[in-house]
Amino acid sequence: MDCIFCKIINGEIPSKKVYEDDTVCAFYDVEPQAPVHVLVVPKEHISSAAFITPENSAVVAHIFEVIAKLAKELGLEEGFRVVNNCGDIAGQTVKHLHFHLMGGRAFSWPAG
């Protein structure tokens, strides 16, 4: 499958990994939008949040445990933003489910 995040997970494309276990991988975004910007992804290829089902949703709960752990490790005690873009209209450019963990600056709301 021609998926850039699958290739990062498999080590075919280099990345700066900050966390990895049997089901989840986290690595730094190449175009950071905040002083800390990490992508947390399931190793299983799920195309987007629209394809989360009762069969595969356990990994999403695990991703949020990883996010909480990484936020502490990366010094984001003050707070952080987690973003998921789902579909072209929302700005999803990589069609492999991922959550942006961003911190180290203030964020406005509502997001544009």
User: Per-residue x/- mask for ligand AMP, residues 69 to 88, rule CB under 6 A?
Assistant: ----------------x---
- 3-class secondary structure, 82: strand
Q: Could you say whether residue 2 binds ligand AMP (CB under 6 A)?
A: no
DSSP letter (8 states) at residue 104:
S
Residues 22-41 that bind ligand AMP (CB under 6 A): 27, 29-31, 39
> Would you name the residues annotated as active-site residues?
98
Q: Could you say whether residue 15 binds ligand AMP (CB under 6 A)?
A: yes
8 Å CB contact between 91 and 74: no
Q: Could you say whether residue 106 binds ligand AMP (CB under 6 A)?
A: no
Q: Could you say whether residue 13 binds ligand AMP (CB under 6 A)?
A: yes
Only segment of 52-60, 70-78, 91-99, 104-112 that touches ligand AMP (CB under 6 A): 91-99
Q: Could you say whether residue 53 binds ligand AMP (CB under 6 A)?
A: no
Which helix (H) or strand (E) element contains residue 45? none
Cβ-based neighbours of 67, under 8 Å, separated by 6 or more: 40, 82, 99, 101
Cβ-based neighbours of 2, under 8 Å, separated by 6 or more: none
Query: What's the min distance (Å) between Cβ of 11 and ligand AMP?
Result: 12
Q: Which of 57, 42, 109 is nearest to 79 (CA)?
A: 109
